[in-house]
Amino acid sequence: MANDIEQLAANTIRTLAIDAVQKANSGHPGGPMGMADMAVVLWSKFLKVDPKNPTWENRDRFVLSAGHASMLLYSALHLAGFPISIEDIKNFRQLGYPTAGHPELDVALGIETTTGPLGQGLATGVGMALAEVKLRDIFGPELVDHRTYGIVSDGDIMEGVAFEAASLAGHLGLGKLMYLYDDNDITLDGPKEWSYSEDTSQRFAAAGWQTLAVDGHDRAAIAEAITAGIADEARPTIISCKTHIAYGSPNKQDSAAAHGSPLGEEEVALVKAGFGWEHEPFHVPSEVYAFFAEALDDYHQESGDWQRNLERRLAGDAELAAAWRTHFGDEPFSVAVPEYEPDARVATRAISGAVVNAVAADRSDFLGGSADLTPTNNTYIDSSTNFSAEDRSGRNFRFGVREHGMGAIVNGINLHGGLRCFGATFLTFSDYMRGAIRLGALMGAPSIWVLTHDSIFLGEDGPTHQAVEHLAALRAIPNLWVIRPANAAEVAGGWEVALNRRQGPTVLVFSRQGLPAGGVDPVPVDRGAYVIREGADAVLVATGSELETAIAAADILSAEGKTVRVVSMPCREAFLAQDEAYRAEVLGNGIPVASLEAGVTFGWSDIVGSDGLSIGVDRFGASAPAAVLAEEFGFTGSQVADKLRSWLG
């Protein structure tokens, strides 16, 4: 009888998927049809979630890395009792409905994360599993003890970001991470053998994973393999589930034709006839609803018991209650400005390092790491150790030379909840993790990126390491704030903005070379820009290391009788979010506006207007000492003054 209801449940998932794709005339029916048996086993026997309490902190996380198979997830969520309705499924891929072609994140609906860019989900799940291990070390298994499951595809496995993250997961022994690999030998182009011939199991085994293989349509074998994976606490597990894409389709099974196109009305009819499915489209048998409700009822009871236990423990332990509020509450971060000698010149990356350590001393939920650039990014938390398979207490993550993987892992840690995590590398290497940065912005993940060596002024390393177009490229991503501080007050303010920003990621961009450290009085980084000195003939807006140059140019022109208002703009996004009155207060009304930044001038018209002047670097850099490059690229005070003088006439 159990097999009968499980088969009915699997066919319900299949028919909902093909009906939704057919009605939308768009989507990927083959994947959900092949993965349905895996989904039934996972959701009815193992996945610890509570549809009545979807944000339960100790729930299991499920990542559909093969995000194109989204109808598998929507069908499972609907059947399990999450607020995805049949009407939502009937309007798959339509405006205003939560059933997008590739969903990103909606925990209230049961969607933890799924990804359009293949590989990102697999790597993000590594971050979720890492967060669970870290929080379990802090709070103990009575409060934190859950798993991260996922379904991954051939395409996920091929992407470089996936194996970067998988390599680190094996190295760190993330034993509560498990992926079911939909091994169907088909990609969108055609047979997998056209482009891929590696032994995936051996590849993951070499990275320290437990590897298992089963028939992906044998539900008993799948359950047995998952149980074996759970038993191995020392290694993450990947289960190769050999499946047929478009399972049950007489003419499209095992064919790329079913990957990204509707089956067609005639083929849908043949599939349903083969299943003995004599129902109208979008039909769900009542016994399937009952099957999933019964399967998940124990977890509803468990989530309630867990909540009561949490409340009882917090009421009796003030220290634990304070720690829990820090990690899972919304207490704001407060960041003090580091103090330096009046004439000190300090790289903003070094100032950031001081802030990192001060915040870490104050907040146990703050942690992070670098992609093998810890000493140069200045990101090491001195009061802690390295997080490792042997030491879960460490707050320093050694991501290795894995920028791609680091990006997705940091997103996963921050999406999991309970921790505020940053990742660090050189600004120019942000290209390697752009997919993760963009996806984090799309999901509203509160990730923080520390990107140092911010311009041509890093000097002798040359143009491969000198960021020129990267500030503009990052600013082009919606919902991403880019903060480029000029001194200690702006560094502290930038960190405070980033740590308190919960609805999207923030990039903090720091210099290699020394800059005037400035005073200890806070400045309004949260407003994006502020006036450094007044002037009536022109406004010169600068960021980061160019603020010093802007002041020098204004001094030269002041001696000639022209007054220049100097504005520091550490965050354009924050400034453009201000009301019109504040923007006018900073930039003035009718005063010519110029910008100064050691990067491409693209995008600065938003600030200076069509008649403004943008001084920048619209070419690649060169290898030479910073002072020589300043002269070569026109970034001395006298050269900037000459350009302003000529522009003003």
Domain at 409, CATH number: 3.40.50.970
Q: Assess whether 540 and 623 both reside in one domain.
A: yes
Residue 72 near residue 64 (C-beta atoms within 8 A): yes
Report the pLDDT value the prediction gives residue 397, as an integer from 0 to 100: 98
Looking at the predicted structure, is the pLDDT value of residue 1 above 60? Answer: no
Long-range contacts of 246-251 (CB under 8 A, 24+ apart): 246/29, 246/30, 246/33, 246/34, 247/14, 247/33, 247/34, 247/36, 247/217, 248/11, 248/14, 248/33, 248/274, 248/275, 249/30, 249/33, 250/274
Report the pLDDT value the prediction gives residue 403, as an integer from 0 to 100: 98
Q: DSSP string of 446-483?
A: --EEEEE--SGGG-TT-TTT--SSHHHHHHTSTT-EEE
Examine residue 321 and state whether it is found in any structural domain, yes or no. no
Q: Assess whether 552 and 505 both reside in one domain.
A: no
Instruction: Specify the number of domains making up the chain.
Output: 3
Supply φ then ψ for residue 481, to 5 degrees: -100, 130
Q: Is 391 exposed, middle or buried (0-12, 13-18, 19+ CB in 10 A)?
A: exposed
Q: Assess whether 41 and 14 both reside in one domain.
A: yes
Looking at the predicted structure, is the pLDDT value of residue 34 above 70? Answer: yes
Q: Assess whether 47 and 172 both reside in one domain.
A: yes
* pLDDT grade for 2, boundaries at 50, 70 and 90: low
Query: Which of the listed residues 265, 300, 335 is the one where a domain comes to its end?
Result: 300
What beta strand segments (E) does 154-190 contain?
Answer: 177-183
Let me know if 339 is a catalytic residue.
no
Range 346-351 average pLDDT: 98
Q: What is the pLDDT of residues 273-304, one digit of tens each?
A: 999 999 999 999 999 999 999 999 999 999 99
Instruction: Take residue 211 and report the two structure tokens written for it.
Output: 């590897």
Range 237-250 average pLDDT: 98
> What is d(CA 213, CA 215) in angstroms, rounded to the nearest whole number?
7
Q: Assess whether 38 and 72 both reside in one domain.
A: yes
Range 415-430 average pLDDT: 98
Q: Assess whether 134 and 240 both reside in one domain.
A: yes
Q: Is 529 exposed, middle or buried (0-12, 13-18, 19+ CB in 10 A)?
A: buried
| CATH number of domain containing 540 | 3.40.50.920
Examine residue 128 and state whether it is found in any structural domain, yes or no. yes
Range 381-410 average pLDDT: 98
Examine residue 177 and state whether it is found in any structural domain, yes or no. yes
Residue with tokens 């059947």: 79
Mean pLDDT of the chain: 97
**Which residue range(s) make up the domain with 450?**
345-516
Q: Assess whether 285 and 377 both reside in one domain.
A: no
Report the pLDDT value the prediction gives residue 307, as an integer from 0 to 100: 98
Q: At what angle do helices 265-275 and 2-24 cross, to 10 degrees?
A: 170
Active-site entry in 164, 267, 403, 573: 403
Taking alpha carbons only, the member of 558, 581, 571, 582 closest to residue 637 is 558
Q: Assess whether 511 and 579 both reside in one domain.
A: no
Q: What is the pLDDT of residues 166-223, one digit of tens each?
A: 999 999 999 999 999 999 999 999 899 999 999 999 999 999 999 999 999 999 999 9
Looking at the predicted structure, is the pLDDT value of residue 3 above 90? Answer: no
Strands 345-347 and 514-516, bridge-based pairing = antiparallel
Range 306-315 average pLDDT: 98
Examine residue 356 and state whether it is found in any structural domain, yes or no. yes
* pLDDT grade for 316, boundaries at 50, 70 and 90: very high
Looking at the predicted structure, is the pLDDT value of residue 387 above 60? Answer: yes
Q: What is the pLDDT of residues 57-116, one digit of tens each?
A: 999 999 999 999 999 999 999 999 999 999 999 999 999 999 999 988 999 999 998 778
Looking at the predicted structure, is the pLDDT value of residue 619 above 50? Answer: yes
Report the pLDDT value the prediction gives residue 467, as an integer from 0 to 100: 97
The total number of residues shown for the chain amounts to: 649
Looking at the predicted structure, is the pLDDT value of residue 138 above 60? Answer: yes
Query: Which of the listed residues 460, 487, 516 is the one where a domain comes to its end?
Result: 516
Examine residue 597 and state whether it is found in any structural domain, yes or no. yes
Report the pLDDT value the prediction gives residue 415, as an integer from 0 to 100: 98
Assessment of whether the complete model's pTM goes beyond 0.95: yes
Q: Assess whether 238 and 94 both reside in one domain.
A: yes
Share of the chain above pLDDT 90, in %: 97
Range 8-21 average pLDDT: 98
What is the CB neighbour count within 10 angstroms for residue 620?
A: 12
Query: Which of the listed residues 460, 490, 516 is the one where a domain comes to its end?
Result: 516
